[in-house]
Amino acid sequence: MTASSETGALLEHLFRHQAGRMVAHLTRLLGPGNLSLAEETVQEAMLRALQTWPYQGLPENPAAWLFRVAHNVAIDAVRHNQVLGEKTDAIVAELARAAIVEPNHPDVEEQLRDDELRMIFMCCHPEISRDASVALSLKTVGGFSVREIARAFLADAATIAQRLVRARRQIREQHFTLDMPGGGELKQRLDSVLEVIYFMFNEGYASHEGEELIRQDLCMEALRLGGLVASSSIAEPRVDALVALMALQAARLPARVDHAGDLVLLEDQDRGRWDAQLTGLGFYHFDRSMAGDAVSEYHVQAAIAATHARASVTASRDWPLILHLYDQLLAINPSPVVALNRAVAVAKVYGPAKALKAIAPLENDPKLRDYYLLLAVRGHLLLELGRRNDAAVSFRAALACPCSEPERRFLRRKLESCELLTTE
Amino acid sequence: MPQYMLLLHSDPANWQNLSPEEMQKATEKYMAWSKKPFTRDGKRLADDAGRVIRSDHGKPRTTDGPYSETKEILGGYYTIEAASYDEAVKLSLDHPHLEVGGTIEVRQVWGS
């Protein structure tokens, strides 16, 4: 019995992580067409743990217990429903062999990581829509439930379930395999894998309404998947750049809201609350991303995050460098959101008047209509220029846009400060 | 000190939609509860309906049961020590089994 069995506490996210790798592993043994069977099998194994451990105590090696039970459940299911036809005996034999291996053994762990990697690459098949790829990756390798995914995406559980059903059907009917694509196709697939991982991260990171905890879990899962790809043989420097970017941003999560649950802007954040381990991980991958000549969008974004992280105090932040990086980023990805972020750097380097000019063209961009952040930045710049009435108009307009409760409180405080100053 | 048996009934369908994370949380709560100082013993029972043997005009007749018409099964039991039924019930009120829609039957062990 281990020490943890005294309290009944397990390794954090043990079930979720084991579920992810067991689904990937069983999908390889059962074939991608039987993905649902693999998922149901793993669900059943965890259910049995829940029904057994409270009475019999924690097993010596909980991961190995789950692993063994999942294989035995799979063997029963394969024998029982005969979906595998004449391959049944061979697969049962393989399941029986795999059931007794030690999942924590380094060789087995490597195999399991490879299974997970292949699984993500299949989930991100170009034929599957991006939304479905994200949901499927979270469900299968992430070990998230339909309800958790729905909560994180502020979506209806039925919508998510539908997406998953469709994606599984595509996998089955179009005979997708867990083989890694070759040649030029591999590079493209890696692109979509990184895109899906970054999308997953941003969904978690965006301070939408919704449950903070599940959103942070989403960020950490994206980071884990990124790390999985980065440590594989197919990694390229841009994978490290993406992991660096995610780690450096995730490091700020604990400081992003104060004790009252209010938003804290990057420059006002208590850097002591940044997660030092994640910052370290970020810089480790940032250094690795420097190999080679190619500069991806992830490289530039990571460089911006690194510049913020490197500054020991807010005042010493290298804003000219950050502005320069935003110029590069805008050249690679000329999106209005990037332009808006760049304007913040413009204000730091050249002052609020120049920044106001920089965001003027964005105000007509249909993509930014109803985007509270544009109006909030505008209000902030106007306030710096002493134009309190105009600033108040902007903050009021921002408040009319969809935003989360902490963001709303932040805007209201800003608006109050305009009005307070005006009446004085 | 009198002993009481807590018989934990539940409908396995209640568990089907739990996520791995939720199942882990539930497992931890159950395990923490079973470590409380007043618990003496606990066993899981197989998750099937079991068998019931009745005397049918003097001959034993075996059926699945006892509740073959409902989906609830007796999943396991604990033995706890308590001064009275009231105390036994009070000690059981925070059992996580109740959070997941389960039922707890409390019975005093005779003569204890």
Contact between chains at B44 and A7 (C-beta distance less than 8 A): no
More confident residue, A369 or B18: B18
Q: Same domain, yes or no, for A75 and A136?
A: no
Residue A1, pLDDT score: 38
Q: Which residues of A344-357 are buried (b: 16+ CB within 10 A; e: fewer)?
A: bbbbbeeebeebbe
Mean pLDDT computed over B71-78: 86
**Per-chain mean pLDDT for chain A:** 88
The closest of B39, B108, B40, B104 to B74, measured between CA atoms, is B104
> Tokens 């595998």 identify what position?
A84
The string of pLDDT tens digits covering residues A301-335 is: 999 999 988 886 666 788 999 999 999 999 988 88
Residue A162: both structure tokens together: 């539908």
Low pLDDT (below 70) residues in chain A: 1-9, 207-212, 312-315, 421-424
Return all residues near A385 (Cβ < 8 A) that are at least 6 apart: A352, A353, A356
Residue A207, pLDDT score: 60
- The SS3 of residue A415 is helix
Exposure of B76 by Cβ count < 10 A (0-12 exposed, 13-18 middle, 19+ buried)? buried
Rg from Cα positions in chain B: 16
Residue A369, pLDDT score: 74
Q: So what's the architecture of B3-14+21-108 in CATH?
A: 2-Layer Sandwich (3.30)
What whole-number distance in Å separates Cα of residue A147 and Cα of residue A13?
17
In a domain, A386, yes or no: no
A135 neighbors A218 (Cβ within 8 angstroms): no
Residue A2, pLDDT score: 41
pTM for the model stands at 0.81
In a domain, A276, yes or no: yes
Residue A209, pLDDT score: 57
In a domain, A349, yes or no: no
Residue A200, pLDDT score: 87
Q: Same domain, yes or no, for A218 and A192?
A: yes
The string of pLDDT tens digits covering residues A179-188 is: 999 888 999 9
**Helix H segments across A57-182?**
62-81, 88-99, 106-123, 130-140, 146-152, 157-173
Q: Same domain, yes or no, for A190 and A275?
A: no
Angle (CA) A339-A413-A376 rounded to 5° is: 15
**Residue where a domain terminates, one of A55, A72, A104:** A104
In a domain, A312, yes or no: yes
Residue A183: both structure tokens together: 């040649």
Residues of B in Cβ contact (< 8 Å) with A8: 27-32, 34-35
Residue A46: both structure tokens together: 């965890």
Q: Which residues of A202-230 are buried (b: 16+ CB within 10 A; e: fewer)?
A: ebbbebbebebebbbbbbbbbbbbbbbbb
Residues of B in Cβ contact (< 8 Å) with A50: 15, 18, 23, 26-27, 30
In a domain, A405, yes or no: no
Residue B48: both structure tokens together: 């099937």
B57 neighbors A68 (Cβ within 8 angstroms): no
Residues of B in Cβ contact (< 8 Å) with A58: 31
Residue A421, pLDDT score: 64
- The SS3 of residue A103 is coil
- Residue B79's DSSP bridge partners are B5, B41
In a domain, A418, yes or no: no
Q: Which of B23, B48, B97 to mutate to test the interface with A (most CBs of A within 10 A)?
A: B23
Q: In terms of residue numbers, what domain contains A295?
A: 238-253+269-316
Exposure of A100 by Cβ count < 10 A (0-12 exposed, 13-18 middle, 19+ buried)? exposed
Nearest CA distance, B11 vs chain A (angstrom)? 12
What whole-number distance in Å separates Cα of residue A245 and Cα of residue A226?
10
Chain B residue closest to A43 (CA)?
Answer: B20
In a domain, A230, yes or no: yes
In a domain, A284, yes or no: yes
Q: Same domain, yes or no, for A208 and A285?
A: no
Contact between chains at B21 and A145 (C-beta distance less than 8 A): yes
The closest of A247, A228, A224, A232 to A298, measured between CA atoms, is A247
Q: Same domain, yes or no, for A290 and A191?
A: no
The closest of A386, A388, A390, A412 to A399, measured between CA atoms, is A412
Question: CB-CB: which of B20, B28, B29 is closest to A143?
Answer: B20
Residue A286 has phi, psi (to 5 degrees) of -65, -45
B75 neighbors B8 (Cβ within 8 angstroms): yes
Q: Same domain, yes or no, for A91 and A24?
A: yes
* Total count of domains within chain A: 3
What whole-number distance in Å separates Cα of residue B85 and Cα of residue A349?
74
Residues of B in Cβ contact (< 8 Å) with A215: none
